[in-house]
Amino acid sequence: MVAVTAFLAEARDGDEIVLDGATGEVYLNPEASVKAEYENKKNTFMEEKKDLEQYIGKPSVTKDGVQVEIVANIGKPEDVEKVLQYDGEGIGLFRTEFLFMDRTAMPTEDEQFEAYRKVAAAMKGKPVIIRTLDIGGDKEIPYMGLEKDENPFLGYRAVRFCLDRREDVYKPQLRALLRASAFGNIRIMVPLVTCIEEYRQAKALVEELKGELDSQGIPYKKDIQVGIMVETAAASLIADIFAKEADFFSIGTNDLTQYTMAVDRGNKKVSYLYSTFNPAVLRSIKHIIASGREAGIMVGMCGEAASDPMMIPLLLAFGLNEFSMSASAILKARKMVTEYSVAELQAVASKAMTFATAAEVEQYMKAFVEKVNL
């Protein structure tokens, strides 16, 4: 919940507050009837959560036999506990910038290695996709000495920063990732690519560092995959070109939506335009998945849309291989996947793609999901 206007100005110590994280509604000193309603909602939620435990240990397979992976997003090694608790089938996004934040100096190669090794070992051979440093934009790290960008989301960030700071930032991280890959199924993901040259430069650095490790007799996963996060309009438009060279795709819907719609997702004045259900964004997602599938590479999604109940049917129909989300959302998503037939969802997706507005798509998908759950 963000941008709840006038709320904090009116709240006082000792007030009772109800927050509805599903609808974004806030009740200050609610009436007895509202409190009773939300007590019931809370009890229902806890019952449903308990009921979902039956999906622990079950495969994420649709009614017509299509298998997908439901994995988790994490920010630090300690988050793995939740992933294992909710039976995640891997890590779809390890946001490494959190290892660099809230400190006064950059973590050493050995510190990074230990963090990556810990996660890889804990997942016991399941895929662990680790995103290389993604700072800039809305993530500032003072000791990195980044100058203030007039438009940080379009400026010096992510892979652009890393390729410019190869010796002191990028190579130590890539070396740490390669070393840690000897302890599990690590895959390296490059964020915010907009052109094939950026991917090739990152891949060349990985190959260079492999040679260094070989000469030093340090083990690593020889066939480690290097993929890209597809989150810009540019990468989406040339997804077919990227698919010929990248080892996998992971769609970052939060930024993909932001860049496609030219909307700062933190600006409440234009937030009405920010929707993954916008036809432009949906066409982009469909094209990315089709390009990856045609080239025979895995296509995942690690943006918030991957766990959206109204989006999951569309993503299954488009052919998404991997859904990455908060660990607590995994079992609910698995339950949904098992209730659908991909063949039957094709007609639903085709109809959804005929609408002209995000509101129409959302209304249609909401009605469909509610009908299925009756």
Residues 85, 14 share a domain: no
Domain boundary among 37, 55, 73: 55
What predicted TM-score, i.e. pTM, was given to this entire model?
0.92
Residues 158, 38 share a domain: no
Residues 47, 17 share a domain: yes
C-alpha distance from residue 333 to each of 44, 59, 156 (Å): 18, 12, 36
Q: Which helix (H) or strand (E) holds 129?
A: strand 127-131
Residues 329, 238 share a domain: yes
pLDDT average, residue stretch 53-77: 97
What's the whole-number average pLDDT of the chain?
94
Tokens 């990468």, located at residue:
235
Residue 6 pLDDT grade (very low, low, confident, very high; cuts 50, 70, 90): confident
Residues 77, 135 share a domain: yes
CB 272 within 8 A of CB 266: no
Predicted local confidence at residue 138, as pLDDT: 65
Domain boundary among 33, 55, 77: 55
**Count of Cβ atoms closer than 10 Å to residue 130 Cβ:** 24
Locate 27 and state its tokens. 């009740």
Residues 243, 130 share a domain: yes
Give me the CATH number covering residue 179: 3.20.20.60
pLDDT average, residue stretch 272-301: 97
Q: How far apart are CA 294 and CA 318, in angstroms?
A: 12
Q: How far apart are CA 97 and CA 78, in angstroms?
A: 15
Q: Which helix (H) or strand (E) holds 298?
A: strand 298-301
Quick: pLDDT tens for 319-346: 999 999 999 999 999 999 999 999 999 9
Predicted local confidence at residue 21, as pLDDT: 83
Provide the CA 313 distance to its chain's centre, in angstroms: 17
DSSP-based helix, strand, coil % in the chain, nearest 5: 50, 15, 35
Grouping H, G, I as helix, E, B as strand and the rest as coil, residue 86 is coil
Residues 244, 126 share a domain: yes
Q: Among 13-27, 50-64, 144-158, 273-287, which is the least confidently predicted range?
A: 144-158
Domain boundary among 55, 81, 97: 55
The residue segments making up the domain with residue 240 are 60-372
Quick: pLDDT tens for 229-266: 999 999 999 999 999 999 999 999 999 999 999 998 87
Residues 41, 161 share a domain: no
Residues 191, 108 share a domain: yes
Locate 218 and state its tokens. 């340090």
CB 331 within 8 A of CB 299: no
Residues 16, 97 share a domain: no
Split into its structural domains, the chain has a count of 2
Residues 66, 49 share a domain: no
Residues 68, 51 share a domain: no
